Amino acid sequence: MAMEPRLDIIGAALADVSRSQILCALMDGRAFTNKELACVAGIAPQTASAHLKHLQLAGLTSSLRSGRHIYHRIADKNVAGVLEAIAGLSPTDHLRRNGSSRHGGADIFRARSCYNHIAGRLGVLLTERLIDLNVLQLSEGAVVPGDHGNRFFSDIGLPIPSASPAHDPVVKLCLDWTERRHHISGPLATQLMQHAIRAGWLERRRNSRALTITERGYETFDRIFGVNREMIEGGS
């Protein structure tokens, strides 16, 4: 056998609609039970268990027990990054056709969680405004804190995190699969989403990656970031 990466193992794990739906649900960033994931994929819990075992053996998910329940989640941030990149290559016409469906297709485009940071139109607009304000700077294809970064984030109660021991960048670019433009990921972006949820700007939903933008959120994104409702909902 040729000494090459076993891409076929990952391909086989992804080559099932139900497993893909499970992975998309887990890209919410939270951990879910087998029953919850079965409901999302529209399959029986026993079938979901088999799919989850397949995904875990492929290294895409992990599980942990808490009391009587076993919770499943994306294995780590590297897996999440790869899945988001693959999503960027995948067809999305069905989402646009069903954008007004009861599943909230249009809301997925507007604002959603991408593992642990804000994605969708809101994530892209926030990123572009932070660059315009010199809070973030583009440098040789990467993004770094800008001259106004510390003060801006301190003013909203969000100090820029220190570099991790693994030398992961504090902030980096992630190509948004619906907007085809970049939003930010990394520790800073994670803190920003957590802060937005704690402050009541955004609310999580049950069984969906879509994030609800509250009235307080619309006001705050406009006042602090210069991203108004019309900009956010412009493509809905």
| Statement to judge: residues 109 and 215 lie in one domain | yes
| Statement to judge: residues 60 and 112 lie in one domain | no
Question: Could you tell me the residue range of the domain that residue 12 belongs to?
Answer: 7-75
pTM for the full predicted model: 0.82
Q: Could you tell me the mean pLDDT of each successive run of 10 residues in the chain, 236 residues long?
A: 81 95 93 94 96 96 92 94 86 57 68 94 97 93 89 89 70 91 94 96 90 97 96 76
Q: How far apart are CA 77 and CA 217, in angstroms?
A: 27
| Statement to judge: residues 143 and 228 lie in one domain | yes
| Statement to judge: residues 125 and 185 lie in one domain | yes
CATH number of the domain residue 32 falls in? 1.10.10.10
| Statement to judge: residues 67 and 152 lie in one domain | no
Find the distance separating the first CA and the last CA of the chain, reported in whole Å.
Answer: 50
**Cα–Cα distance list, 186 to 23, 77, 151, 161 (Å):** 20, 9, 19, 10
Residue 188's pLDDT is 93
| Statement to judge: residues 115 and 220 lie in one domain | yes
Residue 163's pLDDT is 63
Residue 5's pLDDT is 85
**Cα–Cα distance list, 96 to 6, 83, 128, 180 (Å):** 34, 20, 24, 14
Say if 93 falls within a structural domain.
no
| Statement to judge: residues 116 and 218 lie in one domain | yes
How high is the mean pLDDT of the chain? Answer: 89
Say if 171 falls within a structural domain.
yes
Say if 89 falls within a structural domain.
no
| Statement to judge: residues 124 and 202 lie in one domain | yes
For 2-148, where are the alpha helices, taking DSSP H only? 7-14, 17-26, 34-41, 45-57, 77-89, 93-97, 105-110, 120-132
Say if 97 falls within a structural domain.
no
Question: By CB neighbour count within 10 A (0-12 exposed, 13-18 middle, 19+ buried), where does 136 fall?
Answer: buried
| Statement to judge: residues 126 and 47 lie in one domain | no
The residue among 148, 121, 126, 129 whose CA lies nearest residue 195 is 126
Residue 95's pLDDT is 60
Say if 88 falls within a structural domain.
no
Tens digit of each residue's pLDDT (9 = 90 or more) over 181-211? 999 999 999 999 999 999 999 999 987 899 9
**Percentage of residues in the chain with pLDDT exceeding 90?**
69
Q: How far apart are CA 187 and CA 173, in angstroms?
A: 12
Q: What secondary structure letter does DSSP report for 164?
A: P
Say if 16 falls within a structural domain.
yes
Number of domains in the chain: 2
| Statement to judge: residues 158 and 229 lie in one domain | yes
* Beta-carbon-side half-sphere exposure of residue 203 (alpha carbons within 13 Å): 9
Contact 192, 157 (CB under 8 A): no
Tens digit of each residue's pLDDT (9 = 90 or more) over 104-133? 457 889 999 999 999 999 999 999 999 999
Nearest-Å Rg of the Cα atoms of the chain is 18
* Residue 196: both structure tokens together: 């937005």
Residue 102's pLDDT is 42
Residue 1's pLDDT is 54
Residue 101's pLDDT is 43
The residue among 112, 114, 152 whose CA lies nearest residue 132 is 152
Say if 28 falls within a structural domain.
yes
Say if 96 falls within a structural domain.
no
| Statement to judge: residues 22 and 122 lie in one domain | no
| Statement to judge: residues 40 and 114 lie in one domain | no
